[in-house]
Structure 1
């Protein structure tokens, strides 16, 4: 068959250039907010195999992970300046189009028979690739076999990117979603766990960068005009015009990056609105995945490194409340004085002490993985009562749509790293009713939760990122609309930063 360079292949080539460049820059932004990589499913301090920061982890017993952000330049990351929420928005928007483009590419490849340009039909191509490599090292250009568009080493390289690297980067990206990792927890563990998957995703980024550098070098070696003419016109007969047009297209891509970065830093809410139109329709489908994450006691963070008290190694983030009320509760070990309020749009408002919560929980526990939005993770065994059971007791009224959780913590007062404001979060009812959405009162069989981890009672939302699992829980309110609370976005970080309320990815 005639392989050539059909229009659809040329369009896909340029779109992939656009999407991969945005994915790399937004990926660097996400990495910069927790620039450490690990070999296991835990983030035990001092065990990182790589880090891209000069900052050290805080030594204070209570600290915020946000203090470990590395403020990468907007010239490098997208959009830069430690804007994790916006970086995630750009990453997920680009991923949407990147995956659609890749699937369309595969359909067209196999539908038109063009797959043969990448997949060899003769095993002799491996030996020929070795000879081609020797030719390149001698600064000579090996020729493609008769009837094929590429020489052997090009063919194998492109096949690796299309059929191996791209599926791997999609798979490892998907398994950083709390909802997906929760639902497919056995596959998650088989892949090495959250941090190994995160490291593999980073290595995919490195592989793309290496491929781009080598690919550009090969284009120059084969002849800029000759190769770019193929990508512009589908033939090599107009090298000058093709080279100029492709150079202009690359310049416009750079302009697009600059414009997108400046737009993001100037009007992040506009980027958020575009993200919600593009991403929410498919990310909301993840609510339908049943929550079923479960780990064994031996998987708990700390037990695999010989720590007697695994709770010491379950990472916390944030500073406990500093009000006299909370400090008095802490001094009295919470049990006698603390009462969780449950009210709002319910038939039976109530208050429950920790002993009452224990009695209602009837020994219920779950061992689950904490997905911090910055990137760290910890596995802990939580005792508590599902929010669904509490809602059943309280009896939401007809029309109840959301559940709001309020913390004792006030950010400006208790954690100077952030602006002031009461810390709160909310679930749509479908998320609140997930069986692993839990009001927890004990961690790792220690009898209680440590102050750094949210004592005396905290929320666990295992299908979402960590900041929505609110600590130091004061009260729960059922409401018929969440958009009139705070700034109307559903939570503290959703209000003051650029985080979507839907944190399933």
Structure 2
């Protein structure tokens, strides 16, 4: 006769709350979809959406297509931001540092004060931040030099009603017809603008405030911009990037994966497997970097820039 399996008290309750939350989210989404389908079926709303189909017209001088440099920038940005999120989470949640790093106070950069000892995770996070910022500066410079800025910066006020129209179309599951090779829909345009010109600068200025590079003796400056305010903004900005990546990847795969991946990785408007192949290789590189971001591999690299201790 088999012995009955004893369950620990509260084992079922452990999953009850997450299950209820998930069920509530699914139910809320279903209600929103049904409401959007009813709303967009009204004659007055149909007429309004014909006027604002979801896409704002670009200036006549706007470039067509996505150049190769933009594909490289897209990969590097994704590579850095994924590792930044990983290292930032480690900095926030790690209770026992895997090591410490201290900058050598010699060479080209010298300071009067003693260098600050930081954890290896924080060194990795700050190093990635510096590379990400450098990549971002290059991206913005080339973006304006080539005219590609017109694709992600609103140039007309009708972008806002068009964004609402695009949002209603997504929500009603009657997704907008688009051609990202020529023009993003208004909701995409606003999302890219917020990510590049609002979220990224917020991540930078709050990160600098929390880093050792910030002057600790600047009493007046620290009172105007306290570190607590930077922390309150920095973490939500990280969550925004996580949400943006999830939505972005989902829509890329759900709205014509081969063509969209060709736009981003092969600089082509064709429908073939080249872009997917390059995307797959980039995923392998990012996955390898994710698992290689461990003390065993980080210590030798960090020791080139300072002293590492366990």
Structures share fold, TM-score greater than 0.5: yes
Q: Is the 8 A contact 1:26 1:91 kept in 2?
A: yes
1:140 aligns with 2:201: no
CA distance in structure 1 between the partners assigned to 2:270 and 2:71 by the alignment? 16
**Structure 1: 5+ residue runs without aligned partners?**
34-68, 73-83, 277-488, 498-505
Q: Is the 8 A contact 1:141 1:221 kept in 2?
A: no
Q: What does residue 246 of structure 2 align with?
A: 213
Q: What does residue 273 of structure 1 align with?
A: 303
Of 77, 82, 85 in structure 2, the residue corresponding to residue 24 of structure 1 is 85
Q: What does residue 3 of structure 1 align with?
A: 64
Q: Check 1:188–1:109 CA distance in 2 against 1; reply closer, same or farther (3 A cut).
A: farther
CA distance in structure 1 between the partners assigned to 2:220 and 2:189 by the alignment? 35
Q: Check 1:268–1:107 CA distance in 2 against 1; reply closer, same or farther (3 A cut).
A: closer
Higher share in helix: 2
Task: Compare relative contact order (CA 8 Å, sep 6+) and give the higher one, 1 or 2.
Answer: 2
Which is greater in Rg? 1
CA distance in structure 1 between the partners assigned to 2:259 and 2:219 by the alignment? 49
Of 280, 284, 301 in structure 2, the residue corresponding to residue 251 of structure 1 is 284
Matches within 5 A, 1:430-469: none
Q: TM-score, normalised by structure 1?
A: 0.43
Q: Is the 8 A contact 2:80 2:128 kept in 1?
A: yes
Q: What does residue 260 of structure 1 align with?
A: 293
Q: Check 1:88–1:112 CA distance in 2 against 1; reply closer, same or farther (3 A cut).
A: same
Instruction: Flag as ranges the 4+ runs of structure 1 deviating above 6 A.
Output: none
- How far residue 241 of structure 1 moved from its aligned partner, in angstroms, is 2.6
CA distance in structure 2 between the partners assigned to 1:3 and 1:131 by the alignment? 24
- How far residue 185 of structure 1 moved from its aligned partner, in angstroms, is 4.5
Q: What does residue 114 of structure 2 align with?
A: none
Q: Is the 8 A contact 1:135 1:141 kept in 2?
A: yes
Q: Is the 8 A contact 1:144 1:152 kept in 2?
A: no
Of 189, 201, 205 in structure 1, the residue corresponding to residue 234 of structure 2 is 201
CA distance in structure 1 between the partners assigned to 2:180 and 2:158 by the alignment? 15
CA distance in structure 1 between the partners assigned to 2:170 and 2:207 by the alignment? 34
Q: Is the 8 A contact 2:265 2:275 kept in 1?
A: yes
Give 3-state SS (helix, strand or coil) of 1:119's partner: coil
**Structure 2: 5+ residue runs without aligned partners?**
1-61, 99-117
1:95 aligns with 2:129: yes
After superposition, give the CA deviation of every residue in 1:54-89 in whole Å (9 maximum; x if it has no partner): xxxxxxxxxxxxxxx2789xxxxxxxxxxx722112
CA distance in structure 2 between the partners assigned to 1:145 and 1:253 by the alignment? 28
After superposition, give the CA deviation of every residue in 1:309-344 in whole Å (9 maximum; x if it has no partner): xxxxxxxxxxxxxxxxxxxxxxxxxxxxxxxxxxxx
After superposition, give the CA deviation of every residue in 1:369-400 in whole Å (9 maximum; x if it has no partner): xxxxxxxxxxxxxxxxxxxxxxxxxxxxxxxx
Higher share in strand: 1
Q: Check 1:208–1:275 CA distance in 2 against 1; reply closer, same or farther (3 A cut).
A: farther
- How far residue 96 of structure 1 moved from its aligned partner, in angstroms, is 1.5
